[in-house]
């Protein structure tokens, strides 16, 4: 394992991080661990993803409740 620092322009960050995620062999370290989550530029995106995940989990639970098979 090696430690590297990468600076990615904001306009291509999504594509680059998506490709890194496909590799499934990376570990991200917070460069500013003391900064509150609410002050981070991506906070609203993470919050929306959490809300969407909650809605999806609710839908799956309702489907299981009515014995609908989830594929």
What's the pLDDT score for residue 50?
93
Q: Look at 59 and 69; give whichever has higher pLDDT.
A: 59
Is residue 4 assigned to a domain?
A: no
Decide which of 68 and 35 is more confident.
35
- Other C-beta atoms closer than 10 Å to the C-beta of 20 total 14
Domain count, the chain: 1
The answer to whether position 36 is within a domain reads yes
According to the model, what pLDDT value does residue 17 have? Answer: 84
- On whether residue 71 sits in a domain, the answer given is no
Structural tokens at position 16: 């680059």
Is residue 3 situated within a structural domain? Answer: no
Residue 53 included in any domain: yes
Structural domain includes residue 1:
no
Question: What pLDDT digit, counting tens, does each position of 34-66 carry?
Answer: 989 888 888 888 899 999 999 999 999 988 888
Range of the domain at 52: 10-65
| Measured CA distances, 5 to 8, 61, 71 (Å) | 10, 41, 40
pLDDT at site 13: 87
């Amino acid at each position: 394992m090696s430690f590297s620092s990468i600076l990615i322009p904001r306009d291509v960050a999504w594509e680059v991080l998506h490709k890194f995620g496909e590799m499934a062999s990376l570990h991200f370290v917070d460069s500013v661990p003391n900064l509150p989550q609410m002050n981070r530029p991506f906070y609203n995106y993470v919050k929306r993803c959490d809300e969407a995940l909650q809605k999806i989990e609710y839908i799956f639970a309702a489907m299981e409740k009515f014995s609908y098979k989830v594929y």
